[in-house]
Structures are given as C-alpha cells and as structure tokens.
Amino acid sequence: MRDVPNAEALLSGRVAVVTGGGGGIGAATARLFARQGAHVVIADVDAELAGRTVEHIAASGGSALAAIVDVRDRDQVTGWARSVLDRYGRVDVLVNNVGHWLRHPGNFADTDPQLWDELYRINLHHVFVVTHAFLPAMIRARAGAIVNVSSVEGLRGYPEDPVYAAFKAAVIHFTRSLAVQVGRDGVRVNAVAPDVTESLQVPYSRWLSAEEQSQWPQWVPVGRMGVPEDQARVILFLACDQSAFVTGHTIPTDGGTGAAGGWFRSPRRPDREWTNRPIAP
C-alpha cells in the first residue's frame, strides 16, 4: 500500500508528531498517518529504527522526518520543537507514545527510589515536557489533537509494579484534565490504554511458549494477540476529525481483557509471583 495522500485522506496536509516513532506502536502510527496524508515527524532515541521508519514512509510516497531526541530531556525537546515549528509553521497532531516498564522491580517495599524517578521520567514527565513544547502553537492556531499512550495498567491494579501503574494512571488523568482546560481553545486531548499488544517492550511472539500461544482465544476475548496496527488505527481515529466531538477520554485498546479479567498469582512461575498470561494460574 502506497502512502500517497488522496482526496479522502483523514490527515491530508496535517503535521503530525509521534514520539517513539521508530518502532512498535509508534512506527505503526507514523506509517498509518503518512498513508492518511500527514507530514509525519518522528522523535526517537534509536537512530536506526527512526531512519528505517522514515525510509519505509518515503519509499511508499509519504512525507516523514526523523530527529534523534531523548524526550526526557527538556532542553532537547525545546530545541526540537522549535525546529519543527520553524519548518512547518504548526503542529496539528501530537502523539505522546514513549513509555516503558524498564525492568521487573520485585515488591514495592524492596524497590530503589531511583527506579521511581526513572519510571516517572519515561512514562509521565516526558508527556508534560513534549505537550508543553507543542501546545502553545496549537492554542494559537485554535486547532489540534493530542493522543497520549497510557496502558491497561493505568486502569486496573498492577501488582507487579504499582509505581509504573501510578504513572500510567496519571497520564490518563492528565489527559482528562488538560482536555477540559483547552477544549475551548480548539485542542482535543485523548488517550489509549493498550494491553496484550506486540511491541518492542513486550514481544509476546518471543516470550510465549507454544502452549501459551495456543491459548490466545482463552486469554483474550477477541481471540488473538494485538499488533501495533490495532493501536495505530484507534490513535488515527482520535487524531482526525472523525472524533471531533471526543475529548478527555481514554479508550482501552485491549481486545476485551479489561472486561474479562486481570492478574493472577501463579505457582507455575517461581521467578515471578503474578501472571496475566494464558496459563493455569
């Protein structure tokens, strides 16, 4: 499929910024946005991944630009945002996609406060920093759509890492609160909360045994693992005019897992007490 804009493209001519756009959900979103006519701007710390996504979009006839930016660094973000606005004159869509659980922390009582800071910076702080850099231009234009990528763990109890869950929940509440504040300025703010979706951080295709792979229909109500494109399509909906009357909401993009279940103690996993995988708990 070529990424050439057409008369019915949902983002025709718009400038869309995607953080973490080099791989996984971010790359799928960047590619889909380009197919829908957007000029896509990718920020990523991985130059190879970012370059690969831009090359894919360009080879398909789309428009994309990559910058190597650590979105946790305010100075880097400020300079990058200035260059984007100087080049394009505006930003119509911002997708705050970066996030990571970093590593398995064990019980909260045993965690190092330094890990809390690291989780904060990669899951919540950067959402503030990047949004703060681009929001004024959207307000001046009285138009814009921001989509934040949270997690199902921001919507339910997450016994494996309460700190990560707290920051993902904060993304959801920031989304809700900012949407109310800037709604009359023409800016909409929404979020998605993924679960059971293949990504760079959660490579289910490598993690799951053959036994577990066969149990997707028992684990997920829709009967399969999610792929990055599943998330990208919902992000596109929230970014385009099809959702013009939607703001302040978080869509659980989870294949139905939130409606059906949660985490279970698992004596079959001596290394980790909890599981949400399709094995007998």
Count of domains forming the chain:
1
Q: Is residue 137 part of a domain?
A: yes
Tokens of 91: 């930003």
Q: Say how many CA atoms lie within 13 Å of 202 toward its Cβ.
A: 17
Dihedral sign, CA of 244, 71, 202, 111? Answer: negative
pTM comes to 0.93
- Positions in the chain whose pLDDT score sits under 70: 1-7, 278-281
Contact indicator for 74, 52 with CB cutoff of 8 Å? no
Is 86 part of a structural domain of the chain?
A: yes
Residue 123 resides in a domain: yes
Query: Is 149 exposed, middle or buried (CB count within 10 Å of its CB: 0-12, 13-18, 19+)?
Result: buried
Q: Does residue 10 belong to any structural domain of this protein?
A: no
Residue 203 lies in a domain: yes
pLDDT of residue 106: 86
Is 277 contained in some domain? no
Per the prediction, the chain carries an average pLDDT of 93
Identify whether 153 is part of a domain.
Answer: yes
Check if the beta carbon of residue 108 is closer than 8 Å to that of residue 33: no
pLDDT for the residue numbered 268: 75
Q: How many angstroms separate the Cα of 99 from the Cα of each of 96, 110, 124, 160, 183?
A: 9, 23, 8, 17, 25
What pLDDT is recorded for position 6? 53
Active site residues: 164
User: In this structure, is residue 72 part of a structural domain?
Assistant: yes
State the CATH number of the domain containing residue 100.
3.40.50.720
Domain membership of residue 106 as a residue range: 15-209+224-260
- What pLDDT, on the 0 to 100 scale, is given for residue 3? 45
- Residue 2's pLDDT is 42
